[in-house]
Structure 1
């Protein structure tokens, strides 16, 4: 008798709509308190997410992990459904690397200018933009 695959549904939505919706055996997300690993039959949980990568091991291609760049949001797991609501999210295959590299350079320049003006709020905003750009660049490298 074949062993049944324990799976759950992963969906990621942004204000622009559904970015990701697949069955999976494993989800790894970057929560503000550290990485979370989610498998089928996980206890209900709600966790705030940091800027980071979400990795999903799909049931239809067990040798491959999908990578998605997430820019904050929340993860909710309940009844074998893991839902991520994010400000923005991009699958590795959809990331425009050139655009992300330009965003990184622009953010680095803004940090230097804000530091010269001693504008802490602007430094913080530019640092968030830099983190988002670096995350997108790193996730794009996972594309196979």
Structure 2
């Protein structure tokens, strides 16, 4: 079994990462998912969360929003709405987005608007968490 596998992380605005990876840990809809070379094939949805992947023995972290992952024994592909390194996150903008979403949640909304606002709040909170946890 190979030590590495090909990993592609594709966000709507760019190819975030493409290269060899030793280990991948990502939040899936039913919990944390750890992936190494030779993993059994699977496809699953990804909620907003943290992405952690090891390249050349070093862990790298990113904030990822909703998407999908396809895992094959030699390659994994992640398609996500957005993916950002901790140092790319604009903390002020994320904080403003959090405040806007919290204020909007206090207002009367349709169920559809409520779910959209809750998703926006989750994205903002995730970005803040990842930036504070991993940006040095």
TM above 0.5, one fold? Answer: yes
28-37 or 86-95, which deviates more: 86-95
For residues 1-144 of structure 1, the aligned pairs below 5 Å read: 6-59=3-56, 62=57, 64-113=58-107, 117=108, 119-141=110-132, 142-144=134-136
Task: Supply the distance in 2 between the matched residues of 1:46 and 1:118 (Cα, whole angstroms).
Answer: 34
> Can you give the 5+ residue segments of structure 2 that lack an aligned partner in the other structure?
none
* TM-score, normalised by the number of residues in structure 2: 0.90
Task: Supply the distance in 2 between the matched residues of 1:118 and 1:127 (Cα, whole angstroms).
Answer: 11
Question: Secondary structure of the equivalent of 1:98?
Answer: helix
Report the CA distance between 1:87 and its aligned residue: 1.4
> Can you give the 5+ residue segments of structure 1 that lack an aligned partner in the other structure?
none
* TM-score, normalised by the number of residues in structure 1: 0.85
Task: Supply the distance in 2 between the matched residues of 1:137 and 1:124 (Cα, whole angstroms).
Answer: 20
Task: Supply the distance in 1 between the matched residues of 2:43 and 2:111 (Cα, whole angstroms).
Answer: 31
Question: Secondary structure of the equivalent of 2:48?
Answer: strand
Report the CA distance between 1:118 and its aligned residue: 5.4
Q: Cα deviations across residues 34-60 of structure 1 (Å, max 9, x unaligned)?
A: 11000111111111111111101112x
- The number of equivalent residue pairs is 135
